[in-house]
Structure 1
Amino acid sequence: MRSRRTPPVLAALAAGLLALAGCSSTTPPATGAATDRSAAGLDLGEGWDWAPQGAPLDLGVTHTQDSLDDHDPAGSNARGEAILKDSAVWQNVHLMGFGTLSPEPAPGQFDWATLDERMDLVKRTGARTVLTACCAPDWMKGGVAGQTDWTRLEVAPLPQDFRAYADLVAQTVQRYPQIERVVVWNELKGFFDMTRNRWDYEGYTALYNAVYTAVKAVRPDVQVGGPYPVMISLPPDDPNASDTLEGSWGAIDQRILDALEYWDTNKVGADFLAVDGGTAQRGDTISGRLDDAAVKFSDVTRFLRSTTTLPIWWTEFYSEVPEGQTGAADGQASAASTLASVAAFARSGVSVALLWGPQGSSLPYSALWTDATEAAGGEPTPLTQAWEWLVPRLAQGDVELGTAQDSPLIAFRAPDGSALVVNVSDDEVPVAGQEPLAPYAIGLRNAPTP
């Protein structure tokens, strides 16, 4: 049981901590540095443990099915774009699916309209561009040319069409000079071999090598990475559980580690290693403090860094909330859980972390603006201002990560003394001289006055 007494450091919160969300209903929904709420006088020294950031961390987003599209209400889009401009070093767009149509519905017949729209959005909002080379037109996977069966989106191309797919990716990076990074495929979709109960890592690696070679032939400046598997957590007694990568959160599926090892040994080249995953075991929920669950991300990243010198990308990450809490795009617990995950990434030396779906949707995870398909959408969420504060500071690489010794608080501290504080529990945290910090509250304090 964690102590609930008031440690010395919390008494200093009385000098002015104001939660961005979860504590005060009077905080206006706004974004940007000009709306930082002061907590001048907060002492983050006594009663805290601090560690330096492991490496510069670029935060970004992956656009999904609905994401400030041209047919949405103009006001909602304008509000969402204002947030997006301050929310991403990188923006990731899929070649096909997740908001874009087939770019080559039939051999040699191209339709770039939806990709044009997404690429223009990235340029307008000032981010760097990632292309996820997924998914494939139907005719490359045994379907009918000129038609798209969206129920088969996750089917992999046939081996005889790997070259055609690689050529399509190469044409894409030529069409859009703004693309700087390519991630090959997504979560090994379509590459699981049911008869052998393992991933067809030979097939995936053949596709990867074809795409890598084709992209480098036309744009050697573009960095290419993979293999983008889901780092699935299993109970330690599961027959597929690894005995080399495990922790308080469970054990990684050994079949994933086998796929990573094969790809690493047989790839023709790579500029980064991409993975994804969530904080919960498969089919389960988390319990207790959010930062305890997020330790999985630190443990997995450190393991990967022990096996490769490539930069580590978490191209998707899913920050669950405990049973009894509601995960949602605008949920307070979801926002706090996301920040706990970001802290784990920063501690362990992750290079890039991409938030899946920055626009609010039915997914039970935090987003950066509310559903812009609605007239009242495009508004900030409990995550927005904290995320915006973190983006430039984590990219600099000199943020410190703190954990309170006697309270369920974590913090990010910049060199100028400004800080972001998160309550990672469902308990109120008592603070001398002011209202307690609400469960999952997020507080920001500006640099102290000299």
Structure 2
Amino acid sequence: MHAPRPRGRLVAVLAALTAALVACSAGPIASPTLPSPNETLPPIELDGDWTWTKQETALELGVTHTQKSLDDSEPAEARQRGIDILSADSAIWQNHHLMGFGTDNPEPEPGAYDWSTLDRRMKLTEETGQRSMLTLCCAPDWMKGGEAGETDWDALEDEPTPEHFGDFARLAAEAVKRYPQVERVMVWNELKGFWDSDQDRWDYEGYTELYNQVYRAVKDVRPDVLVGGPYVVLISLDEGAEDTSTTVAGPWGAADQRTLDVVDYWLQNNVGADFLAVDTASNKRNQEGLNPLDGGRKFADMARWLQQRSDLPIWWAEYYPEVPAGEDDAPGSPANAAVNLAAIAAMAESGTAGALLWGPQADEDLGSPALWSDSTEEDGGRPLPLTQAWQFLVPRMAAGGVEIGRSPSRPNLLAFRADDGVVVVNLSAEQTEVAGNQLAPWQIAVGGRRS
């Protein structure tokens, strides 16, 4: 994503952003400065051979809160800075997990509920003025062979046993009754625990049975809630490798046929669905990332494959566009922010309905870009390289009026254009000239529109 800019007022913007981003790559994370709410941004001139593609459908962006995310225990000023960022067009949707990823066991013993941590997360969404999603994962220990009254967090990713599918479905129903603000749910997470070692494939039959019981239970008590699955990771491998598809492939590799089989079985055997939830990383399994254009294309190629099978809206429950080999994938890395926007562009061009950013609060263990620095630290809660562009795009992409710009003569440039502004990204490790100005490596810039 990139676009050229004019001289004059833009030079000051570029200079400031360049200084911030260079500081990010040279030493401690430096956060760019967000404009004040009513500040008019200097215009960005888009010169040269741009071609423009309007997004195919409205794209609703959101975030999934993880283990640490603006919790009450954080330093008050840092937490408030993060809340201010989250409140300022950082999401259409906020997604929480039923258990784990920041929330405690909701039913430690049969019929004995503890909603306290999920209550706090739902309150955060309410306070920041956004819409609520719930991932119906994971399951209390007693539903998966453990002891009632105990929680073994090492067993978080174990699936409920078949005899407890009904208990988990009942718990899901209790959750959507308790939280009327929840508008959509995803059933389970990445098929955790549903691997059949004997057959060397996913147990899509078992998952689909769980899904169907949850779907019925949720719809029985809240017919208005939108339910989606199968939330499978669309893994890619080297073309020609064992288990790869012979038809679903691209510069990013070939799809693991076993993951495609999950989608096909679920589509044919679910009792109902309102949207298709999937996730993926742009790189091949156990390999470093590709260049941003090849990596981003995977999100469009997989969306097209899904659209051949179903009219259901496509949601990326998680998405991980990996940085190229040798680049930094820290939450505040400019390269990580830039490749994330390359994936968003591919989603917009291919008719994706929604996408959730995993972990909006910086966590060095996650490997994905964040929207604010770690607010468990006194000086945390600061904007990061992705923040300003993300906040610009969230409401405009949800309205459906953004165009994606690409420059044939400068393939490392990509732009987003709306009626009132543009986002330009340098998708390379080289300084790049745009309208007589210089974009630093991996720089993202946001400005007013000049055409």
On whether the aligned pair clears a TM of 0.5, the verdict is yes
Instruction: Give 1:201's aligned residue.
Output: 204
Q: Which of 1, 24, 39 in structure 1 is aligned with 2:19?
A: 24
Q: Which of 51, 54, 68 in structure 2 is aligned with 1:52?
A: 54
Equivalent-residue separation in structure 1 for 2:408 and 2:150 (angstroms): 59
Q: How many residues were matched structurally?
A: 437
Q: CA deviation at 1:286?
A: 2.2
Instruction: Give 1:415's aligned residue.
Output: 419
Please list, as runs of the form range in 1=range in 2, the aligned pairs for 1:387-426 lying within 5 A after superposition: 387-407=390-410, 408-416=412-420, 418-426=421-429
Q: Is 1:258 aligned to residue 248 of structure 2?
A: no
What secondary structure, in the 3-state scheme, does the structure 2 residue paired with 1:421 have?
A: strand
Q: Deviations over 1:348-375 (max 9, x none)?
A: 1110100000000012220000011111
Instruction: Give 1:325's aligned residue.
Output: 327
Q: CA deviation at 1:39?
A: 2.8
- Give the letter aligned to residue 326 of structure 1: D
Residues 155 and 11 of structure 1: is their aligned pair in 2 closer, same or farther, counting only changes over 3 Å? closer
Q: CA deviation at 1:444?
A: 1.3
Q: Is the 8 A contact 2:187 2:230 kept in 1?
A: yes
Instruction: Give 1:225's aligned residue.
Output: 228
Equivalent-residue separation in structure 2 for 1:108 and 1:10 (angstroms): 60
- Give the letter aligned to residue 175 of structure 1: R
Instruction: Give 1:6's aligned residue.
Output: none
Q: Is the 8 A contact 2:417 2:449 kept in 1?
A: no
Q: Which runs of 5+ in 1 are unaligned?
A: 1-8
Q: Which of 109, 116, 119 in structure 2 is aligned with 1:116?
A: 119
- Give the letter aligned to residue 132 of structure 1: T
Q: Is the 8 A contact 1:224 1:270 kept in 2?
A: yes
- Give the letter aligned to residue 333 of structure 2: G
| CA RMSD, 1 decimal | 1.9
Q: CA deviation at 1:303?
A: 1.1
Please list, as runs of the form range in 1=range in 2, the aligned pairs for 1:24-103 lying within 5 A after superposition: 24-25=19-20, 29-30=33-34, 33-34=37-38, 37-40=41-44, 42-44=45-47, 46-86=48-88, 87-103=90-106
Give the alignment's TM-score, normalised by structure 2. 0.93
Q: Which runs of 5+ in 2 are unaligned?
A: 22-30
Percentage identity across aligned positions?
A: 51
Give the alignment's TM-score, normalised by structure 1. 0.93
- Give the letter aligned to residue 29 of structure 1: T
Q: Deviations over 1:225-277 (max 9, x none)?
A: 00000010111121111112111110111001111111110000000000001
Residues 337 and 35 of structure 1: is their aligned pair in 2 closer, same or farther, counting only changes over 3 Å? farther
Q: Is 1:341 aligned to residue 343 of structure 2?
A: yes
Equivalent-residue separation in structure 2 for 1:441 and 1:21 (angstroms): 11
Q: Deviations over 1:369-390 (max 9, x none)?
A: 0011111111100110110000
Please list, as runs of the form range in 1=range in 2, the aligned pairs for 1:292-311 lying within 5 A after superposition: 292-311=294-313
Equivalent-residue separation in structure 2 for 1:30 and 1:401 (angstroms): 23
What secondary structure, in the 3-state scheme, does the structure 2 residue paired with 1:165 have?
A: helix
Q: Which of 163, 174, 180 in structure 2 is aligned with 1:171?
A: 174
Please list, as runs of the form range in 1=range in 2, the aligned pairs for 1:154-193 lying within 5 A after superposition: 154-193=157-196
What secondary structure, in the 3-state scheme, does the structure 1 residue paired with 2:449 have?
A: coil
Q: CA deviation at 1:11?
A: 7.6
